[in-house]
Amino acid sequence: MMSNPIILITAGRQNHDTPRREMQTVTVGCDIDYLQSVLRSGGTPLLLPCLADSAAIHAALQVADGVIISGGGDILSLLYGEEPHPLSKLHDPTRDTMEIEMTREALAMGLPVLGICRGQQLLNIALGGTLVQDIPSQVPDAVKHFADGLDVVLLHSVDIVENSLLSRVLGATTLAVNSWHHQAVRDLGNGLRASAVARDGVVEAIEATEGTPLLAVQWHPEECAAAYPIFQRLFDWLVSEALAYRAHAQRES
What confidence score (pLDDT) does residue 204 get? 98
**Rounded to whole angstroms, how far apart are CA atoms 211 and 74?**
28
In angstroms, the CA 249 to CA 98 distance is: 25
Residue ranges, the chain, pLDDT below 70? 1-2, 15-24, 150
Residue 33, pLDDT score: 96
Give me the CATH number covering residue 90: 3.40.50.880
40: in domain? yes
Phi, psi torsion values for 202, nearest 5 degrees: -65, 135
1 domain-assigned = no
What span, in angstroms and rounded, lies between the C-alpha atoms of 137 and 230?
Answer: 32
| Structural domain includes residue 80 | yes
Structure confidence at residue 19 (pLDDT): 66
- Residues annotated as catalytic are 117, 220, 222
Radius of gyration of the chain (CA): 18
pLDDT of residue 23: 64
49, 11 contact by CB (below 8 A) = yes
Cβ atoms of 155 and 208 within 8 Å: the answer is no
Residue 105 lies in a domain: yes
**How many CB atoms within 10 Å of residue 165?**
19
**Domains: count for the chain:** 1
pLDDT at 22: 64
| CA–CA distance, 121 with 75 (Å, rounded to integer) | 8
Pairing mode of beta strands 192-198, 12-16: unpaired
What is the domain range of residue 148? 6-252
Local structure of residue 174 (DSSP, 8 states): E
